[in-house]
Chains A and B, each alone.
Chain A
Amino acid sequence: MRFPRRKHAERRLMLELTPMIDVVFLLIIFFMTTAQFARLTRADVDLPREKGEQRHTPEEEGIVINITRDGRVIVSNETVTLDRLEELVFDEIERSRGRSAELAKVMIRPDRNGSTDRLNDVITRLQGMGVGGARLATEVPGQTGR
């Protein structure tokens, strides 16, 4: 007969792992989704250092046009010509049914050290297609983030 030993075995410490696994999975999902999004639309450009409009309202990004320092135009990780860019913008206008070209969502991410030559070319083409406005991306100075 071993009464005392049995009592000890039943009282062993249990570590509750469920919340930790939940949090770890959430973190993995977060990193997976954000990493892919950044890679697809944003090229590595040095944006103008301005605080922007500071509206903090989430907005549909639409087509993202990156303009590098050497004047290359990159859309969805692919260098495109101005003619190809027109096609892509046209597709974007077509995709957003019920919205006119005037209100098409276009985000331009120009390198601040580049020349306005290429930015002016892109804006002239957009304007020629009837796009009434564009958003110029800026890097908020003095802030760090993910």
Chain B
Amino acid sequence: MRIRTRQSRRRIDRITLNLASMIDVTFLLLIYFMVSTVLARPEDRLSPSLQTRRDSTTALISDFQPQRVEVSILDGAPAYRIVGRVFRSQADLREAIEPLPKDPGLFIDVHDRVPVGFAVAAIQAARDAGFEQVTYVPVK
């Protein structure tokens, strides 16, 4: 027969910490932050060098003819122009610049009033075509 001693009674009456309220608050906080967080789309980047038009022409005039793509509005629509040829899509531009030598890099002259997305597409086309050195030249 086991007799209930003082020691065994103490073991039974041990202190218990009630975690229920803390878990409630924690879950409420979690739900609040999950709901209130703005959903951000994944971003990447393009890193062109920056140069003004004057810098980009004077620096290279003595060395070689720079390779330039002009991004402007032609006949009311945005267009890419390279050595007199006009392209209206990123894919066509990429195809045109792919055979060019890569070492001199590529200058992209961006005129005003062109949609930003169209201008950035030219930088992407240059990267995709294998140009490491791409320079953004704003043309005012």
Interface positions of A (Cβ within 8 A of B): 1, 3, 17, 21, 24-25, 27-28, 31-32, 34-35, 38-39, 42, 47-54, 67, 107, 110-117, 119-121, 123-124, 126-128, 131-140, 143-146
A contacts with B: majority SS:
mixed
CB of B33 within 8 A of CB of A116, answer no
Take A48-B117, A112-B116, A112-B117 as given contacts and tell me if A138 and B37 are in contact as well, using a CB distance cutoff of 8 Å: no
Do A51 and B116 have beta carbons less than 8 Å apart? no
Q: Name B residues whose Cβ lies closer than 8 Å to a Cβ of A.
A: 1-2, 19, 22-23, 26-27, 29-30, 33-34, 36-52, 55, 71, 110-117, 119-121, 123-124, 127, 136, 138-140
Say whether, besides A21-B23, A28-B30, A52 and B51 are in contact (CB < 8 Å): no
Cβ-defined partner of B117 (8 Å) among A49, A53, A128, A146: A49
Q: State whether A146 and B116 are in contact (beta carbons under 8 Å apart), knowing that A116-B111, A135-B45 are contacts in the complex.
A: no
Cα A128 to Cα B37 in complex, Å, equals 38
> B51 to chain A: which residues have CB within 8 Å?
127
Question: With A133-B49, A139-B43 given, is the CB distance from A48 to B121 under 8 Å?
Answer: yes
Query: In this complex, what residue of A is CB-closest to B27?
Result: A24
Residues of chain B contacted by A117 (CB below 8 angstroms): 112-113
Among B30, B48, B127, which residue has its beta carbon within 8 angstroms of that of A27? B30
- Tell me whether B113 and A38 are in contact (CB under 8 A): no
Alpha-carbon separation in the docked complex, A3 to B1 (Å): 9
Could you say which residues of chain B place their CB within 8 Å of the CB of A111? 116
Least distance between B30 CB and chain A CB atoms (Å): 5
Q: State in angstroms the CA–CA spacing of A146 and B36 once bound together.
A: 12
Given A112-B120, A133-B50, CB of A119 within 8 Å of CB of B44:
no
B2 CB, min distance to chain A CBs, angstroms: 8
Least CB distance from B107 to A in Å reads 13
- CB atoms of B47 and A116 under 8 A apart: no
Selected from A32, A116, A140, A145, the residue in CB contact (under 8 A) with B115 is A116
Task: Name the residue on A nearest B33 (C-beta).
Answer: A31
Contact A135 B47 (CB under 8 A): yes
Q: How far is the CA of A93 from the CA of B28 in the complex (A)?
A: 42
Find B121's partner among A35, A50, A119 (CB 8 Å cutoff): A50
What's the least CB distance linking A136 to chain B, in Å?
5
Given contact pairs A39-B38, A112-B116, A116-B114, A123 touches B45 in the complex (Cβ within 8 A): no
Would you call B52 and A124 a contact (CB within 8 A)? yes
Check B115–A114 contact: CB distance below 8 A. yes
Closest B residue, CB atoms, query A25: B26
| B40 engages A146 (CB within 8 Å) | yes
Q: Output the least CB separation between A5 and chain B (Å).
A: 12
